[in-house]
Structure 1
Amino acid sequence: MSADNGRYVGLAPVRDGNPVPIRVAQVMGKMLGGGVESVVMNYYRHIDRSKVQFDFLVDADSTRVPEEEIKALGGRVFRIPPYQHPLRYRKELVRLFHEEHWPIVHSHINTLSVFPLSAAKKAGVPVRIAHSHSTMGKGELAKNLMKLALRPLSNLYPTERFACSEYAGKWLFGRNADFTVIPNAIELEKFRFDPIIRQETRKELGIADDMFLVGHVGRFMPQKNQAFLVDVLAELLPQKPNTMLAFVGDGPDRPDVQQHAQALGIS
């Protein structure tokens, strides 16, 4: 198998007798600034890129692709037709897999991984990874029906199975399936408590030092269940009146959560 102008010995690529990084095709689906993209980028920033490099295959309608950072780290971005056009999507994947000769394809799109991994198998990619990052989403009937329809196919094409948790792995691959749990990692230093930043941020937002502040960071969508946090706040306020709940994020459920808070009189 060729790699750039070289060849692969097993999966270890060499060029002119010298080792070069193994390139892994990361099938991301839509990069919209969500959690899966953050996880993959965190790993990419911290791996030994002299040994392993990532190329990102993203849907053409992605809105948050860190192309400059990816290129600076040595990776590449390939924009492909959205998976909502399955024939064009699969055709382009087969073409890319044949042309680029990636030895590893790593798909992060849950039950939809059946499409890129079947294309990878057709193209002769030796290592095909399916990665389960979630289960079914609350309040997403159409998506859940599609997931249930595709889930029986999830073990047909991968040679390796990864999951972010035991539950996510068993949901996608089955209770008795062989899969590897890879916990989602974060950079702890970025989130270390800093009293100066705390004071400055509270001053900027007009929040008193003695206010009991509860923060939530995430998109407003059914899986995050922000309405439940509003219910918790309603129960907490009679006991601790100086409490504030702050949401950081946006999304389709934001108006409903705001209306729920208004209905409870705690907006």
Structure 2
Amino acid sequence: MDKPIKVLQVIPQLGLSGISSVVLNWLREIDTQCVQFDFICFNDGQYREELESKGCRVFCIPTFRQSPLAHIKAVKEILLSPDGKYDVIHVHNSFKNFVMLSLAKKYRVPVRVCHSHTAGLELSWLAPAFSLIKSLTKRFSNQYVACGEKAGQFLFGDAPFIVLNNAIKVEKFLPSKDLADPVAAVFDKYHLPKDKKLVLHVGRFSEVKNHQFFLTLAISKQLDPDLHFVCIGDGPLKENFAQDIIETRQQHRFSLLPANNDIPLLLHAAQAFVMPSLFEGVSVAMLEAQAAKLPCFVSDTISLEADMGLSLVEFLSLERPNEWIEQLNYLQEKNLEDDDVKQAFRHKNYSIDAVVGQLVDLYQEGLKAR
């Protein structure tokens, strides 16, 4: 192509989150001579500096729910600015942003990607109008994309969609002898107990992540006293969960850490990864845990597509916490070769190079069709 494809990525925030990680992984691997990213977000964060250093323009604007008029005005200005003229708008928190997609259609953005990252509805206030919202979202889009089959069926129903896997840089998470000192340092940095077996969870403190299930496990007298839960993330329910830990006198069982950039080291410090979500698409955190060769115990509501086939993942029922306790009490280290892990991710098409190639093809084919 004579000039790069200009893409406006719409993500919830510039801080650490699943969607942000996915799109940042793309940006770090994509050929900027071929595709150029700019960003709309609704919460500023630590990724801004990296984005701007790579030549991306970043617009932090209010959501439609926060301020309808300000939201519409900001989107209109971005789309109509002389530096705009986008070939593609790629909306990730898509069904919450049907107004933005409608404006993109009105102002003739040729390719409008609606990307589903979830297999369920977390916000109850959307439920009464969800059928209408889904209809409008699909009407204003012309490319339907999902992180997995469940996420696609949730938003698009019987309409055809493209699965674009949440890819990671596998090498970043593989254990290494060179990481021994940095891993030891994270124990001091985050005041983690060195005489316990760490069970890690990475996720936003929200209802769908089901942190209360950890308390169900922690208060059980059957749970190994040497197990210690490390929950990493931020979110609206974090303070409430911290208070629940105090009220149940389980402070000795938990470390609550902020979202941070030390996830690879924390994974290598842990003995297991746990995810008791009420529903989930394909979790980036779960992919990272498998790349780190950790045993993963996850709810059976999570998509089977998230299992890389390395015999690391156990899908368990939230109705039977004793099964979780039994698994955690008898943790066994998995002996896997690095090449086996890399091959598994490549075979399942979760390696970053393959997915970036698919993404570029998606944009190019979309433009040819307009």
Could you tell me how far 1:68 is from its partner in structure 2?
2.5
Shift of 1:75: 1.5
Structure having the larger proportion of residues in helix: 2
How far is the alpha carbon of 1:131 from its aligned partner? 0.6
Match of 1:77 in 2: 58
TM-superposed deviation, 1:166: 1.0
Aligned counterparts of 1:171 and 1:30: Cα–Cα separation in 2 = 23
Letter in 1 for 2:72: R
| Residue aligning to 1:178 | 160
Bigger relative contact order (CA 8 A; separation at least 6): 2
Could you tell me which of 196, 218, 234 is aligned with 1:233? 218
Q: CA deviation at 1:33?
A: 3.4
Q: 1:72 to 1:182 in 2, by over 3 A?
A: same
How many residues are aligned here?
Answer: 244
Equivalent in the alignment of 1:192: 174
SS of aligned partner of 2:140: coil
Structure 2 match to 1:9: none
Partner deviation per Cα, 1:135-177 (whole Å, 9 max, x = no partner): 4444x42244454541222210111111111111111111x11
Structure-1 separation of matches of 2:194 and 2:49: 39
**Aligned twin of 1:168:** 151
**Distance change in 2, residues 1:191/1:147 (3 Å):** farther
Per-residue deviation, 1:46: 1.0
Cα deviation for residue 54 of structure 1 reads: 0.2
- TM-score, normalised relative to structure 1: 0.80
Task: From 44, 49, 72, give the equivalent of 1:90.
Answer: 72
Among candidates 224, 230, 239, match of residue 246 of structure 1: 230
- Check 1:32–1:153 CA distance in 2 against 1; reply closer, same or farther (3 A cut): same
User: For 2:188 and 2:74, how far apart are their aligned partners in 1?
Assistant: 51
Any stretches of 5+ residues in structure 1 without a counterpart?
1-11, 13-18
Q: CA deviation at 1:179?
A: 0.7
Larger of the two Rg values belongs to structure: 1
1:220 and 2:221 are equivalent in the alignment: no
Whose strand fraction is larger, Structure 1's or Structure 2's? Answer: 1
- Structure 2's unaligned 5+ residue stretches are 252-370
Cα-Cα RMSD: 2.4
* 1:39 to 1:206, Cα distance in 2 relative to 1, 3 A: closer
- From the superposition, tell whether residues 98 and 254 of structure 1 become closer, same or farther in structure 2 (CA, over 3 Å): closer
- Provide the C-alpha distance between the structure 2 equivalents of 1:206 and 1:157, rounded to a whole number of angstroms: 48
Cα distance, 1:97 vs structure 2? 2.2
Counterparts in 2 of 1:1-267, with a 5 A limit?
Answer: 12=1, 19-59=2-42, 62-64=43-45, 66-84=47-65, 85-99=67-81, 100-138=84-122, 140-145=123-128, 147-174=130-157, 176-193=158-175, 194-202=179-187, 205=191, 207-209=193-195, 211-235=196-220, 238-267=222-251
Quote the offset at 1:247 in angstroms. 1.7
How far is the alpha carbon of 1:192 from its aligned partner? 2.5
Task: Note the C-alpha offset of 1:106.
Answer: 0.8
The percent of aligned pairs where both chains have the same amino acid is 32
